[in-house]
Amino acid sequence: MSRDWTKEELENASKAMKAAGQLSYEEFCKQLNKTILTAYCKNADENLIKISGPYNCKEELEKQLQEHFGHLKVIIVLSEEDIAFIKENLG
């Protein structure tokens, strides 16, 4: 959008978006700051498990894994940029 919104207009639009079941403006802005991170873990049987999702930082994903998947051993957490760098430099 190219027009400037007043604070009131932005708040009203944000409330309408939230009421419609979408992200509010504030939630949308928070999502923009997130990046896709991938955790590579092992379970008790030594199987490799890959878990990806949008997070603000690697530590946030590691904390979520510890809280919800304590049985997994986290090997490494990589961003999309990390993975692209590794792929480019393996060859």
How would residue 91 be classed by pLDDT, with cut points 50, 70 and 90? low
pLDDT tens digits, residue range 31-86?
A: 777 889 999 999 999 999 999 988 888 998 999 999 999 999 999 999 988 988 99
Tens digit of each residue's pLDDT (9 = 90 or more) over 6-42? 888 888 888 888 899 888 878 877 777 788 999 999 9
- Residue spans per domain, the chain: 1-33, 34-91
pTM above 0.85, yes or no: no
Please state, in angstroms and rounded to a whole number, the distance separating the CA atoms of residues 72 and 12: 44
Q: Has residue 1 got a pLDDT over 50?
A: no
Q: Which residue has the higher pLDDT, 42 or 91?
A: 42
Q: Between vectors from CA 53 to CA 47 and to CA 55, what angle results, nearest 5°? A: 125
Those residues whose C-beta lies under 8 Å from the C-beta of residue 54, and which sit 6 or more positions away, are 31, 34, 35, 36, 37
Say how far apart CA 20 and CA 68 lie, in whole Å: 30
Pairing of strands 48-55, 73-79: unpaired
